[in-house]
Amino acid sequence: MKKKNLSVKKKIHNFYSKRLDDPRIKKIYLKFKKNLSKQITNSLCVAVSGGLDSMALSFLTKCYSIENNIKVYFFIVDHKLRKNSTIEANLVKKKLKSFKIFSKILTIKKEKTSKNIQSFARENRYKLIVEQSLNKKIDIILTAHHSDDLIENFFIRLLRGSGLKGLISFSSIKSKVKLSDKIFILRPLINISKKDLAYISKNTFNFNVNDPSNFEDKFLRVKVRKLISNLEKDGLTFNKFKLSMKNLSKSNYAIDYFVKKNINDNSNYLKLTKTIILKDDFLKQPDEIVFRSFSEVIQKVGKKNTFTRGEKVERLLKYLGSNNNYSKKTLSGCIIQKIENSVIISPEKG
């Protein structure tokens, strides 16, 4: 390597090491490092939005990659929802490059949607990153979700009528990506506050882009953010919230145990026809056990990456529990039929 290149490399490494001399940044980095080091992985990528959270994540991940000499990919998604999105994406790429972080811009095709705009952008962002991850054999996607996001998502799901599993699902540091069972999402900042990430962002790259939708009251997330701000004035803290989530997780673990037991004891899988037969007792368990067990069976037979929408499952279970329930039904790639005291679930052909 040429002396000039060695000098540049040393200068960049010095930038990161000097920032880690800051006690507050060092403390946050050690927490981030602990969360990340627990996960065995071949390669990583970082989802970069350009917000202060993801810029802080980029800094922390770069430090980790230097310390551990690992390859990390950085992906910026140009969602095309705002007229300045392409300009912003290029600004973020340029800024990261000045700190020897080389990134790639992934562009979402502009199209009209009847969906929630933020939900549409999120789904397509993950789709593009997953495609890149599969091509480059990446098995972990790092996201900048932090403790404030955890609380926000709890209240959003509560307002939407989510059950226990939905309320706590975001709290796990690691979860499978819906689009592929080979890739996981890792949230190494989930126990770090937005204030801490803002401090890192300001005292390292000192650059971020602002999403104006974060201040528009028409979005549920913005309304929930204001609600939480008021609750904090009345004593809500992350530690108290974390304790509640821990208790809810224990309850969820107990339910999962009985879900597995119900499937093992009260269903038979016919490997040759890839059909599952539910015994009479399968549907006689408590409602939540039946709902989750049935959802898992449908997902397995239908070979789907995600669970079927809850309302559709509820409707079908209500039908199976009625007296006039002997006609065939279809759901998520499955054919469901009640024959005497058993329910036969088989894959749709085609």
- Which residue type occupies 177? V
Between residues 143 and 170, the one the model is more confident about: 143
pLDDT per position as a tens digit, 58-115: 999 999 999 988 899 999 988 877 788 899 999 999 999 999 999 999 988 766 655 5
Determine contact, residues 48/103, Cβ cutoff 8 Å: yes
The vertex-15 CA angle with 11 and 18, nearest 5°, equals 125
Q: Are residues 81 and 175 in the same domain?
A: yes
Q: How far apart are CA 216 and CA 308, in angstroms?
A: 31
- Which residue type occupies 64? Y
Q: How far apart, in Å, are the Cα atoms of 295 and each of 92, 116, 313, 337?
A: 42, 25, 7, 15
Residues in contact with 274: Cβ distance below 8 Å, sequence separation at least 6, in sequence order: 301, 346, 347
Q: How far apart, in Å, are the Cα atoms of 308 and each of 95, 122, 240, 315, 333?
A: 42, 19, 33, 12, 10
* Weakest mean pLDDT among 184-198, 254-268, 304-318: 304-318
Q: Does residue 289 sit within a domain?
A: yes
Q: Does residue 45 sit within a domain?
A: yes
Query: At 300, phi and psi to the nearest 5?
Result: -65, -50
Q: Are residues 231 and 327 in the same domain?
A: no
Q: How far apart are CA 244 and CA 251, in angstroms?
A: 11
Q: pLDDT above 70 covers what percent of the chain? A: 90
Q: Does residue 55 sit within a domain?
A: yes
Average pLDDT over residues 299-304: 89
Q: Are residues 218 and 302 in the same domain?
A: no
Q: Does residue 242 sit within a domain?
A: no
Average pLDDT over residues 193-214: 88
The vertex-297 CA angle with 294 and 302, nearest 5°, equals 125
Q: Are strands 267-270 and 140-142 parallel, antiparallel or unpaired?
A: unpaired
Q: Are residues 213 and 326 in the same domain?
A: no
For residue 183, the SS3 value is: strand
Q: Are residues 41 and 182 in the same domain?
A: yes
Q: Does residue 241 sit within a domain?
A: no
Q: If you ran DSSP here, which 8-state letter would residue 272 be given?
A: T
Q: Are residues 303 and 197 in the same domain?
A: no
Determine contact, residues 341/333, Cβ cutoff 8 Å: no
pLDDT band, residue 213 (cuts 50/70/90):
low
Average pLDDT over residues 195-223: 84
pLDDT band, residue 159 (cuts 50/70/90):
confident
Q: How far apart, in Å, are the Cα atoms of 13 and each of 94, 116, 303?
A: 19, 42, 47
Q: Are residues 150 and 260 in the same domain?
A: no
Query: At 335, phi and psi to the nearest 5?
Result: -110, 125
Q: Are residues 210 and 232 in the same domain?
A: yes
Q: Does residue 229 sit within a domain?
A: yes
Q: Are residues 229 and 270 in the same domain?
A: no
Of 182, 207, 236, the residue that ends a domain is 236
Of 184, 202, 236, the residue that ends a domain is 236
Q: Are residues 170 and 270 in the same domain?
A: no
Instruction: Give the distance from CA 302 to its chain's centroid.
Output: 23
Q: Does residue 193 sit within a domain?
A: yes
CA-nearest of 294, 57, 315, 75 to 189 is 57
How many domains does one find in the chain? 2
Of 236, 262, 287, the residue that ends a domain is 236
Residues in contact with 198: Cβ distance below 8 Å, sequence separation at least 6, in sequence order: 52, 56
Q: Are residues 232 and 252 in the same domain?
A: no
Residues in contact with 42: Cβ distance below 8 Å, sequence separation at least 6, in sequence order: 137, 138, 139
Q: Are residues 36 and 103 in the same domain?
A: yes
For residue 202, the SS3 value is: helix
* Weakest mean pLDDT among 7-11, 141-145, 197-201, 246-250: 7-11
Q: What's the mean per-residue pLDDT of the chain?
A: 87
Q: How far apart are CA 176 and CA 173, in angstroms?
A: 11
Residues in contact with 103: Cβ distance below 8 Å, sequence separation at least 6, in sequence order: 48, 74, 75, 76, 92, 93, 96, 97
Average pLDDT over residues 125-143: 90
pLDDT of residue 5: 56
Which CATH number covers residue 24? Answer: 3.40.50.620
**pLDDT surpasses 70 at 4:** no
pLDDT per position as a tens digit, 320-340: 988 887 789 999 999 999 998
- Please give the residue range of the domain that contains residue 289: 248-347
Q: Does residue 190 sit within a domain?
A: yes
> Integer distance in angstroms from the first to the last C-alpha of the chain?
58
